[in-house]
Chain A
Amino acid sequence: DQQVKQNSPSLSVQEGRISILNCDYTNSMFDYFLWYKKYPAEGPTFLISISSIKDKNEDGRFTVFLNKSAKHLSLHIVPSQPGDSAVYFCAGITGTASKLTFGTGTRLQVTL
């Protein structure tokens, strides 16, 4: 049972344009959703999160949108930069400190 799904394994975007990464979930008990970014041979690093009671959270070039009725969230990166090229994982968490349930990731490539 895959509770968090990222249906697009890869995405290519031109530098300066918007990148939109999507994530769907089935577990209504998630309290927070987090996006992690992973470069090759490194561990994932935290990017941005959103509470399940919010519908938007913005941090610089990164904005996460949550649509609870559709059980869908998205990460927007504007403008995209070559350094954003990485694998992005969506994750849900229940409770104050618990396991993260990850999606399978989307590989973003930002081209010049």
Chain B
Amino acid sequence: GAGVSQSPSNKVTEKGKDVELRCDPISGHTALYWYRQSLGQGLEFLIYFQGNSAPDKSGLPSDRFSAERTGGSVSTLTIQRTQQEDSAVYLCASSSPRDFPYEQYFGPGTRLTVT
């Protein structure tokens, strides 16, 4: 079946502009996660959605970052007034509580470059 998809695959933007990154999770997966990988760094958790519960936003680095998940499916990560330090690969993952052991399925990522 279809995996997690993300768009765009690459995004170049000027400092100060807003960007939106999209994630389509695997159908039926109730949990959705956003991570980012900066150059030379590990994957850093950003935000987590589980069903209709309030999202865990504990990883968002600043109030310029926000995310929403509409209808329990597609998610959009928005970065306002982008800065050069926002340059990274943004990865989305989804999971199902029926999967063991809590495996998360990742999309290919969106490479964001802020110039």
Residues in B whose Cβ lies below 8 Å from that of A89: 42-43
* Contact status A105-B102, CB under 8 Å: no
CA distance A76 to B40 in the complex (A): 24
Is there an interface contact between B97 and A44, defined as CB atoms closer than 8 Å? Answer: no
Asked whether any CB of chain B lies closer than 8 Å to the CB of A101, the reply is yes
CB-contacts of A3-60 with B (<8 A): 4, 6, 32, 34, 36, 41-46, 49, 51
User: In the assembled complex, which residues on chain A have CB atoms less than 8 Å from the CB atom of B109?
Assistant: 41-43
A99–B45 touching, CB < 8 Å: yes
Give chain A residues whose Cβ lies under 8 Å from the Cβ of B108. Answer: 41-43
- Pairs across A and B, CB under 8 Å, 28 listed: A32-B101, A34-B101, A36-B106, A42-B108, A43-B4, A43-B93, A44-B106, A49-B102, A49-B103, A97-B31, A97-B50, A97-B95, A97-B97, A98-B48, A98-B102, A99-B59, A100-B33, A100-B35, A100-B43, A100-B45, A100-B104, A101-B45, A102-B35, A102-B42, A102-B43, A102-B44, A104-B40, A105-B42
